Structure 1
């Protein structure tokens, strides 16, 4: 159903987007399906593939199907980057490690060559980001607001937790903390004063956009205990690693597909079922 809606939006981006909370779909971006932005559409594909993979390891090929739909429909650079890393990890084992590494290197060289030949007049955001990351990956991280904000949430949530000796910071201090930190460290992110004000306004609602950041900053050491507990119940540690990767971005603890994934793996753990 998600892919069907995403396919419909490829032809008409004004259809089935009434739930979006901001303008994230346009001529230069991919489909959002039932998500709020293209990257989160890819996150759904990853979580649904992970659920099927938890039930049967032979279902790992659903990650390749998800990778195909992420390229064709979502066209999210961040989402595809996560999915490519996760797919590589899922297929990686001692027997095929050299083959997988060779494929990744070969794919990277193809993308590298392709990036230099992208016409300047192409308006797709993913191709613009690909062009920039090949030419100067550091500047892309700083210049692209979406990627920069994700990094800010991760860095300052960890920094704030360590400064508080891993004690809980609570749920109402993030906005003030990140605002003061951005003013202090703006030069590291090459931010002008006006840009600092803009980023602070975006982060003034006390919402940490990463599950990992929220757990670590708001709950302190208790957040680490959560990750340890789900690590213990996971017979397949690759699934735990997938959750860790997604939690560094927009995955939320209230995501229903995450709940299904945790529930299935807890059932397998409790009943000692090997898949």
Structure 2
């Protein structure tokens, strides 16, 4: 029978995968809702007390990831202080510090529970995925408005993928990416395929698919360059087969209407983007509204970070800053202020609002991810991949990101334990 602590921790991590779902109360107008973080806030003290009760309750402080966690928390705390200093205490400034408070709570929570409770956490994740998958499938084949009343904001258009339980296709794609990573680590082939299938065919989110393809090419491609000729030939053969299959799938997806997949034809946004890359004609890319908002927000936040030598700007200055930045620009033309007054880039947000303290947040995440990585090349690749995804869609306010990161870290520690024949292996098993 499952114990109370196992149940509470499992429920908390399960709730982390539904941050955009609203129940109609405690709604402060943002996409990310309070519910999962509120559950985490209530359960965290109980977890802390239970850790005090056992001798090995805080052994995670001996892990290499602990230093990354400390640096991450340091950056978040001082970013909060900078926002309050720059913006004062108001409803808008309190909304501005919420992502940093969320990040602190979740990084502490998963650090405490990911080692001893990983089995119970992993048992809940397939249920979370199938809820996302089934809702997305129903939206695709039956009704695109299915369950959207439980979301605070929605972006639904005929030329984009479905949103499932996220506010827009990119958020659905983020969830699918995390599911794919977790299932891949567990070696659950069917679930890995289904989650990857959802990422490509249901979300059709260029904001996630293009960074993913680039990251896969970097992570699995570059290390083979330094190996033997035989290994290179084997890798090139696998890569060639993979590309043929991928191109065939994309050909079916973006060139034909598959009947029961309504709207999946060459007129979709991502099909147009693939066409631009295939023909090397990027003139239409700049005019794509969704792409240009992200481009403008990322470029604008970086511009002010370097112009002001990394000084924090707080949260309330952004609308005025991005308006000035995009004024009379032919490239950075869409400020996105008609949709949101927040920065549409995870990395851009922490750099603009927290300045150099935002750099420590990013560096903390990097140290967590590479704490158990011995290859210098892999560390560089992880830095590039982290940069790519935080430049585009990921941000520190997404709870399931921390669950995924810590499961990845426990999996890496398990690999080390297996390689050293340590009987206390932590490897995630299927």
Class of the TM-score when normalised by the shorter of the 2 chains: 0.7 to 0.9
2-structure distance, mates of 1:219, 1:47: 26
Q: Aligned pair count?
A: 263
In the alignment, what sits opposite 2:318?
174
The 1:204–1:137 alpha-carbon spacing in structure 2 relative to 1, beyond 3 Å, is same
Q: CA RMSD in A?
A: 3.6
Q: Is the 8 A contact 1:168 1:219 kept in 2?
A: yes
- What TM-score, normalized by structure 2, do the two folds share? 0.52
Q: CA deviation at 1:22?
A: 4.5
1-structure distance, mates of 2:207, 2:254: 19
Q: Which has the higher contact order (CA 8 A, sep 6+)?
A: 2
In the alignment, what sits opposite 2:338?
202
2-structure distance, mates of 1:50, 1:62: 10
Q: Is the 8 A contact 2:276 2:282 kept in 1?
A: no
In the alignment, what sits opposite 1:40?
171
Q: CA deviation at 1:143?
A: 0.9
Q: CA deviation at 1:262?
A: 3.4
In the alignment, what sits opposite 2:207?
78
Between structure 1 and structure 2, the one with the greater Rg is: 2
Moved more, 34-43 or 256-265: 256-265
- What TM-score, normalized by structure 1, do the two folds share? 0.77
1-structure distance, mates of 2:202, 2:133: 8
Alignment of 1:86-97 (within 5 A): 86-89=215-218, 91-92=220-221, 93-94=223-224, 95=231, 97=235
1:262 aligns with 2:411: no
> Matched residue of 1:168: which SS?
coil
2-structure distance, mates of 1:129, 1:112: 12
Q: CA deviation at 1:9?
A: 0.7
The 1:60–1:227 alpha-carbon spacing in structure 2 relative to 1, beyond 3 Å, is farther
Alignment of 1:122-141 (within 5 A): 123-141=267-285
1-structure distance, mates of 2:254, 2:137: 29
1-structure distance, mates of 2:155, 2:344: 16
Q: CA deviation at 1:111?
A: 9.0
In the alignment, what sits opposite 1:214?
349
1:250 aligns with 2:393: yes
Moved more, 157-166 or 64-73: 64-73
1:15 aligns with 2:146: yes
Q: CA deviation at 1:31?
A: 1.4
> Matched residue of 2:140: which SS?
helix
> Matched residue of 2:330: which SS?
helix
1:225 aligns with 2:369: no
Moved more, 157-166 or 73-82: 73-82
Q: CA deviation at 1:212?
A: 0.5
Alpha-carbon deviations, 1:20-72, whole Å to 9, x = none?
4445223332211111111221111112223345x55x469866543322232
1-structure distance, mates of 2:412, 2:251: 45
Q: Is the 8 A contact 1:157 1:213 kept in 2?
A: yes
In the alignment, what sits opposite 1:66?
195
Q: Is the 8 A contact 1:118 1:127 kept in 2?
A: no
| Structure 1: runs of 5 or more not aligned | none
Q: CA deviation at 1:253?
A: 1.0
> Matched residue of 1:187: which SS?
coil
> Matched residue of 1:226: which SS?
helix
